[in-house]
Amino acid sequence: MTASFPSRVLVTGGAGYLGSVLVPMLLQRGSQVRIVDRFYWGTEPLAPVLGRVELVHGDVRDLPAGVLEGVDAVVHLAGLSNDPTAEWAPEANWQMNAVATERLAEACRAAGVRRLTYGSSCSIYDGLPGGRTYDERAEVAPRGAYATSKKYGEEALQMLAGPDFCPVILRQATVYGYSPRMRFDLVVNTFLKDALVRGRLSLHGGGWMWRPLVDVSDVARAHVACLAAPEEAVRGEVFNVVHDNYQIRQLAMLVAGSAQLFGHAVALDEAPLPSLVRDYRCSARKLHDRLGFEATVTPLESIADMLGRLTEAGQPEFSHPRYYNIAWMTLLADVQPHLAPFASVI
């Protein structure tokens, strides 16, 4: 059984890597879409849908008045979206990822917006001992500013869940795949860039560590599925969004082999272990058992898709800081202090 799909959806961070893949899917489902975003990467990623979406230039720490008016559901993706940016600007990270999530949920309840899906992260499992596959019942003990702020956001949403409010928490695995707002600071995408630019992939500590991974289009589909689900199936629930768990070494081999088919010779190098090693596995079972949802795009398919697109359209300027969140955010802070994540008002 499915509920009726929301007809008007607000997407926070809708111009980002994930948002710019999700928004066309929502339009396809017949929803009207409003996007609230700082547009740190501009509105270009939304070029195919401009004119069909409403853009609100705003900050989730200081929600523009009326942004929830006429909205049935919210997909909340805005904020600092990786460890390096969160460690670089810990206070901005806390305000954006933790406090703003709680305030947005309170504002939704006050405005009668019943459904909210939240882009949390599997990095929340990172502090748990390796060697096991964790599901949503695990006692998480996040390490670092980013995962800690996501945990607070999750807990705030669960506290506010009730008969009038149906938040759904999606713990997204590390994402791979093509988006109009491309990122090359995510492990598979980084390997692909290194294969094309350097012809070499570095395997730190041999690359034996495990990570849960998922394609960007599958994450977007998971949000759509949670917007469509009956409230009683998802209210206050946490779902991992995972295709599968992979060893970094395995991902490197998939990228190297695929790039070779496109005529690029790629060597694999051993490199020293970094100071912080992330090594954890997560289960995708609950989302499958509860909603029948399965992530379907394999890393191999996604790598082939990216290779095709990046080589057909002419390779992007891979070294451009816009493809690496920490490089781009520090650059924005340097050259345009008013755009820095520290400023709460644009």
Ligand X SMILES: NC(=O)c1ccc[n+]([C@@H]2O[C@H](COP(=O)([O-])OP(=O)(O)OC[C@H]3O[C@@H](n4cnc5c(N)ncnc54)[C@H](O)[C@@H]3O)[C@@H](O)[C@H]2O)c1
At residue 259's C-alpha, the angle toward residues 258 and 263, to 5°, is: 120
CA–CA distance, 270 with 274 (Å, rounded to integer)? 12
Distances (CA, A) of 38 to 26, 101, 143, 256, 345: 20, 15, 27, 36, 10
Catalog residues that contact ligand X under the rule CB under 6 A: 13, 15-19, 37-41, 59-61, 77-79, 81, 96, 119, 121, 172, 174-175, 181, 183, 186, 325
In whole angstroms, the minimum distance from the beta carbon of 292 to ligand X comes to: 22
Cβ-contact 80, 93 below 8 angstroms: yes
Please say which residue, 200 or 309, places its beta carbon nearer to ligand X.
309
Please say which residue, 59 or 237, places its beta carbon nearer to ligand X.
59
- Return the residue nearest ligand X (CB atom): 16
Cβ-contact 152, 103 below 8 angstroms: no
In whole angstroms, the minimum distance from the beta carbon of 163 to ligand X comes to: 27
CA nearest 324: which of 22, 81, 46?
81
Three-state helix/strand/coil letters over 241-262: ECCEEEEHHHHHHHHHHHHHHC
- 3-class SS at 273? coil
Tokens of 126: 């990172």
Please say which residue, 59 or 72, places its beta carbon nearer to ligand X.
59
In whole angstroms, the minimum distance from the beta carbon of 280 to ligand X comes to: 13
In whole angstroms, the minimum distance from the beta carbon of 145 to ligand X comes to: 12
Q: What is the DSSP string of 266-316?
A: -EEEEEPPPSS----EE--HHHHHHH-------HHHHHHHHHHHHHHT---
In whole angstroms, the minimum distance from the beta carbon of 17 to ligand X comes to: 3
In whole angstroms, the minimum distance from the beta carbon of 212 to ligand X comes to: 10
In whole angstroms, the minimum distance from the beta carbon of 59 to ligand X comes to: 4
Please say which residue, 85 or 258, places its beta carbon nearer to ligand X.
85
Q: Report which residue type is found at 191.
A: F
In whole angstroms, the minimum distance from the beta carbon of 60 to ligand X comes to: 4
Q: Which stretch of DSSP H or E encloses residue 197? A: helix 187-197
Please say which residue, 15 or 310, places its beta carbon nearer to ligand X.
15
Please say which residue, 12 or 258, places its beta carbon nearer to ligand X.
12
Largest CA distance in the chain: 57
Please say which residue, 78 or 254, places its beta carbon nearer to ligand X.
78
C-alpha 71: how far from its chain's center? 22
Q: Phi and psi dihedrals of 119, rounded to 5?
A: -85, 80
Please say which residue, 165 or 323, places its beta carbon nearer to ligand X.
323
Quickly list H helices, 14-112. 19-28, 83-88, 90-93, 100-111
